[in-house]
Amino acid sequence: MFSPATTKKAVAPNNLEAYWMPFTANREFKTNPRMLVSAKDMHYITDDGRRVLDGTAGLWCVNAGHTRPKIVEAVQHQIAELDYAPSFQMGHPKAFELAARLATIAPQGLNRVFFTNSGSESVDTALKIALAYHRVREEGQRFRLIGRERGYHGVGFGGISVGGIVSNRKMFGTLLTGTDHIRHTHDIARNAFSRGQPEHGEEFADDFERVLALHDPSTIAALIVEPVAGSAGVLLPPKGYLDKLKSLCDKNGILLIFDEVITGFGRLGAPFAADYFGITPDIMVTAKGITNGVIPMGAVFVKDAIYDAFMQGPKHQIELFHGYTYSGHPVACAAGLATLDVYQEEGLLSRGAELANYWADAIHGLKDCPHVIDTRAVGLIGAIELEPIPGEPTKRAFSAFLAAYEAGILIRTTGDTIALSPPLVISTSQIDELVDKLGIILRAGA
């Protein structure tokens, strides 16, 4: 008979060995653990009782701030009432209610919502819908999926195949076939310290024409881009760039997918980046802020015409062979509905617009700190790019991250760029605190 006491080692308290941490320098962490034990509004509390100002909304997801009572209560209530309901051939009211509510805030025409459990699943879902859409319309020759260098689309095989971050791809074999990439838009030489969207680089969209010519446009199903590349260092689209991509897609019958996992739910000061830039994609990928990070969830928004293309054939037949055990999970839906209430009651989907100038001033105010080679800001996202230490890339930013944590602020680094994306409830004095403390760290030569 199985007996944990005899067949397993006793679990020592505070043993850090078993947990293989994601996207983490495990050995460094385990010699210098950084443990968060609770959170409230704009702050985390560490295991040694310190308050840490959250400059990153967790991982770009806690847009309304932490442990908001309305969301907590909704989750508690839902678990006690309906803990789980199958999502295949069955439904529960909150999944329909959430989809309908989401459609009301989505950009015009993106009225159909497919639920997933993460950004990565949302990306793979969007790519699969794009391929299947062409197939049901008898354009199955459109099998290619195009992404962009320095794009981050999660960690599924679809997402890393269209993604353009080398470290996320190089260990994992051949990836999906039939993918290609357009060039990235980062151009510090011409655009360093731009206020808002960079002036130079609309022509980077022409690189899509090169890919179209190389493969024949009629073989391409979709182009996926982040409207603002987040994880690769907060790269803003140059003026005119996204419009050009959109018109090339339209001209060639290619679906445009916006990955709004970071930019969705108010991050830029509008509900979605599509609203902010005035460009509606055919498919929009979301996650993170949809439940304020409380329960894992993602949603893929598609245009009516895409959904309608699948609604044919005998009515008893499944139209799309895709879905997850936890698609539209009742607890996630309850969290999502309460989150939307909080966003709407507090005007959080547009609050970033009110703070954007103050925020941009604060971020650009760090431009004269040592080793800073660029500062960028849009909505409530900011980036400070540092010159790498020769031969030791990422180390300078990582040192700043460690120092920041000691100083009571949570920042995030990607490569040698510091990325900031606080909860949308941040006050101006908290912006000052965040940026002042970071300035002290950078001036100390982190």
Ligand X SMILES: Cc1ncc(COP(=O)(O)O)c(C=O)c1O
Which residues bind to ligand X, rule: CB under 6 A? 118-120, 123, 152-154, 226, 230-231, 259, 261-262, 287
Please name the amino acid found at residue 42.
M
Do 107 and 275 contact (CB within 8 A), yes or no? yes
**261/397 with CB nearer ligand X:** 261
| Angle in degrees, CA 203, 205, 207, rounded to 5 | 95
- Cβ 285 to ligand X, closest distance in Å? 7
**119/423 with CB nearer ligand X:** 119
Helix, strand, coil tally for the chain in percent (to 5): 40, 15, 45
Query: Would you state the structure tokens that stand for residue 44, as one six-digit string?
Result: 């985390």
Do 172 and 165 contact (CB within 8 A), yes or no? no
Distance CA 132, CA 128 (A): 6
Segment holding 306, helix H or strand E? helix 304-310
- Cβ 263 to ligand X, closest distance in Å? 8
Distance CA 126, CA 110 (A): 13
**2/23 with CB nearer ligand X:** 23
Distance CA 56, CA 412 (A): 7
Distance CA 95, CA 158 (A): 26
- Cβ 264 to ligand X, closest distance in Å? 9
- Quote the radius of gyration of the chain (alpha carbons, Å): 22
**230/423 with CB nearer ligand X:** 230
Q: What are phi and psi of 180, to 5 degrees?
A: -155, 175
Q: How many Cα atoms occupy the beta-carbon half-sphere of 244 within 13 Å?
A: 14
- Cβ 261 to ligand X, closest distance in Å? 3
Do 43 and 51 contact (CB within 8 A), yes or no? yes
**63/118 with CB nearer ligand X:** 118
**169/190 with CB nearer ligand X:** 169
Do 141 and 216 contact (CB within 8 A), yes or no? no
**118/191 with CB nearer ligand X:** 118
- Cβ 412 to ligand X, closest distance in Å? 10
Sorted by sequence, the CB contacts under 8 Å of residue 141 that are 6+ apart come out as 134, 218, 219
- Cβ 79 to ligand X, closest distance in Å? 22
Distance CA 320, CA 329 (A): 19
- Cβ 425 to ligand X, closest distance in Å? 21
Residue whose C-beta lies closest to ligand X: 119
- Cβ 89 to ligand X, closest distance in Å? 26
Query: In this structure, are strands 220-225 and 144-148 parallel, antiparallel, or unpaired?
Result: parallel
Nearest CA to 74 out of 305, 322, 291 is that of 291
Q: Is 408 left (phi over 0), alpha (psi -120 to 50) or beta?
A: left
- Cβ 55 to ligand X, closest distance in Å? 16
**154/164 with CB nearer ligand X:** 154
**288/437 with CB nearer ligand X:** 288
DSSP bridge partners of 40: 43
**142/153 with CB nearer ligand X:** 153
